[in-house]
A and B are shown apart, each in its own frame.
Chain A
Amino acid sequence: KAGVTQTPRYLIKTRGQQVTLSCSPISGHRSVSWYQQTPGQGLQFLFEYFSETQRNKGNFPGRFSGRQFSNSRSEMNVSTLELGDSALYLCASSLGQGARTDTQYFGPGTRLTVL
């Protein structure tokens, strides 16, 4: 079974621009979560989608948004990019049945650099 895929793997943008990252979950998984990883803040939860609905949201500004499509694929968007948005963005998929034991499987990430 194919793993979680993320595109693109690397991205360079300038301040003020916007960016869209894509994530395709493991087949059969209905939940997609997004995390931001930076050297200073570590791994921080952005949001989680299940059945095209945002189910949880972390403490990030409204510039960070996401959506999920009927095939469970997800995109996240960051508008008005800031230098501090430079990070590795990780997508994780899970069955999404709601159990806390639900295991998340991570993709390779998208490395975003903001200049």
Chain B
Amino acid sequence: AQSVTQLGSHVSVSEGALVLLRCNYSSSVPPYLFWYVQYPNQGLQLLLKYTSAATLVKGINGFEAEFKKSETSFHLTKPSAHMSDAAEYFCAVSASGTYKYIFGTGTRLKVLA
């Protein structure tokens, strides 16, 4: 069975500061991991995905994530936060044996001016 845990339901950073959103996974098979962003009243937009090709994955809007098997983590980072990054971020794992995603509980990012 697979699961993801997102530490911190709310994270606040100053504009220009480093963004770090945490995601830990549990999986009995090699995991395929995704980060999505959701802006108010909108659906989910794919930021990036890990499919075992490279451990450091670069996504859109300057975000990247590093897969660390030893730590079972897939944390999302961005060197410099922008006001437009304020949104809710979801980590997800593709469940084995099915074609569904299992989502974390989400982290709401607030960017302070």
Contact = CB atoms under 8 A, between A and B. Distances in A.
Interface in B6-52: 32, 34, 36, 41-46, 49, 51
B94 A101 contact: yes
B44 A96 contact: no
B42 A100 contact: no
Interface stretch (A64-72, A74-82, A103-111): A103-111
A42 B99 contact: no
Interface of B: 32, 34, 36, 41-46, 49, 51, 90, 94-96, 98-106
Interface size class of A (residues with CB under 8 A): 20 to 34
A103 B46 CA distance: 8
Contacts of B106: 42-43
A94 B41 CA distance: 22
B45 A106 contact: yes
A42 B91 CA distance: 12
B45 to A, nearest CB: 7
Contacts of A109: 42-43
Contact of A43 (B46, B95, B99, B103): B103
B49 A48 contact: no
A28 B104 CA distance: 29
A106 B36 contact: yes
Interface string A78-115: 00000000000010101010101111111111010000
Interface in A18-40: 31, 33, 35
A56 interface: yes
A3 to B, nearest CB: 9
B100 A58 contact: yes
21 contacts: A31-B99, A42-B104, A42-B105, A43-B101, A43-B103, A43-B106, A45-B100, A48-B99, A55-B99, A90-B43, A90-B44, A96-B99, A100-B32, A100-B95, A100-B96, A101-B49, A101-B94, A102-B94, A102-B99, A103-B49, A111-B41
